[in-house]
């Protein structure tokens, strides 16, 4: 096999990507690189299904707990950090396992970022003020009317990304989805041996698992986690609080809904998000798909048997 091994694990939320990554890292003498947009935030543990401390002690994990919740994160910043980590892992002659459900982050790392137009900072500030005054869902509806492809990939409350899509549209006159379809720049050279693994579940089984996981997160103290973050000074408008689940629980703690209504919204929103993830990853090239409902030892052996000889 030419070049150091990079194993990319993708799939919808709740398919067991993190558990598989740990098992494979133990077998391959590997290290895990986080490609999830939320697990980078300190204190956002339960709702992001962050690997446990025991899992992180069992094999090296990178790019977890590296940002305060008020800090913004992007595909470009992820690529800059991940490239440094990958080089360090390869110098140690170990396999790198990149895992996470943020499809754009993995595409940016392995295929390069699309060239986007420069945006005036005044426009960005104006759009953020619009989001604050009118509400991000209103801006999302505007985006859906002009760039339905981009809007379908974004949650209505994802302020950071909705604003980004609208600022590209308003500044260039072209939808963000058109820019992203253009030939990416900075395409990665074949310095590594990349193997892409995808985990999938039948829709009904996935939806049942999603609902059960949300219930389990609530029982583990997700509401208290959000309350503690707010009490600790994290503003409700922080980028990390715009994520599915966190924004609903912030609303509940503000008295804007009942807990039952918030949980119901979390489950429904997560299902829609999982559907978008599945659509995204099915369009990616070179992914070898595995049924995630298999017992983990069997799944691990199936993936290992499918890997090229090292």
183 pLDDT higher than 70: no
Instruction: Answer for the pair 95, 25: CB distance below 8 angstroms, yes or no.
Output: yes
The pLDDT assigned to 65 comes to 97
In this predicted structure, which of 127-131, 138-142, 253-257 has the lowest mean pLDDT?
127-131
* Encoded tokens for 160: 């950071």
Instruction: Give me the residues paired with residue 289 across strands.
Output: 198
Average pLDDT value for residue range 83-108: 95
119 pLDDT higher than 60: yes
Distance CA 176, CA 116 (A): 8
Instruction: Answer for the pair 200, 11: CB distance below 8 angstroms, yes or no.
Output: yes
The pLDDT-based confidence of 217 (bands split at 50, 70, 90) is: very high
Which of 204, 242, 215 is closest to 226 using CA atoms?
242
* Encoded tokens for 270: 């997560």
Long-range CB contact pairs, 250-257, < 8 A, 24+: 250/226, 252/223, 253/223, 253/226, 253/227
Which range has the top average pLDDT, 119-123, 137-141, 189-193, 289-293? Answer: 289-293
The pLDDT assigned to 142 comes to 92
The SS3 of residue 175 is coil
Distance CA 164, CA 146 (A): 14
Please write the tens of the pLDDT for every residue from 146-175: 999 888 878 787 777 888 899 889 988 888
The mean predicted confidence, pLDDT, of the chain is 91
Which of 97, 94, 39, 30 is closest to 58 using CA atoms?
30
The pLDDT assigned to 191 comes to 55
Average pLDDT value for residue range 245-271: 97
186 pLDDT higher than 70: no
The pLDDT-based confidence of 80 (bands split at 50, 70, 90) is: very high
The pLDDT assigned to 182 comes to 67
The pLDDT assigned to 310 comes to 64
* Share above pLDDT 70 across residues of the chain, in percent, rounded to a whole number: 95
């Amino acid at each position: 096999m030419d070049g150091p091994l990079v194993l990319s694990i993708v799939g919808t939320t709740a398919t067991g990507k993190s558990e598989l990554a740990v098992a494979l890292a133990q077998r391959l003498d590997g290290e895990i690189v986080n490609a999830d947009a939320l697990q980078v935030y300190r204190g956002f543990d339960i709702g992001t299904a962050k690997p446990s401390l025991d899992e992180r002690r069992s094999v090296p994990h990178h790019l977890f707990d590296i940002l305060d919740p008020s800090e913004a994160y992007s595909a470009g910043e992820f690529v800059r950090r991940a490239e440094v980590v990958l080089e360090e892992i390869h110098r140690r002659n170990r396999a790198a396992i990149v895992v996470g459900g943020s499809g754009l982050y993995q595409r940016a790392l392995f295929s390069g970022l699309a060239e986007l137009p420069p945006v005036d900072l005044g426009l960005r500030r104006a759009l953020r003020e619009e989001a604050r005054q009118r509400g991000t869902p209103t801006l999302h509806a505007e985006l859906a009317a002009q760039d339905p492809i981009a809007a379908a990939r974004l949650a209505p409350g994802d302020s950071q990304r909705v604003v980004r899509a609208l600022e590209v549209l308003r500044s260039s006159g072209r939808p963000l989805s058109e820019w992203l379809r253009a030939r990416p720049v900075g395409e990665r050279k074949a310095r590594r041996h990349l193997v892409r693994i995808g985990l999938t579940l039948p829709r009904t089984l996935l939806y049942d698992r999603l609902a059960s996981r949300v219930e389990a997160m609530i029982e583990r103290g997700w509401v208290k986690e959000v309350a503690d973050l707010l009490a600790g000074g994290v503003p409700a408008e922080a980028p990390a609080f715009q994520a599915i689940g966190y924004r609903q629980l912030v609303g509940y703690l503000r008295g804007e809904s009942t807990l039952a209504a918030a949980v119901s919204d979390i489950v429904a929103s997560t299902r829609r998000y999982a559907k978008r993830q599945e659509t995204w990853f099915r369009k990616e090239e070179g992914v070898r798909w595995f049924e995630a409902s298999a017992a983990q030892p069997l799944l691990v052996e199936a993936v290992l048997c499918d890997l090229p000889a090292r």
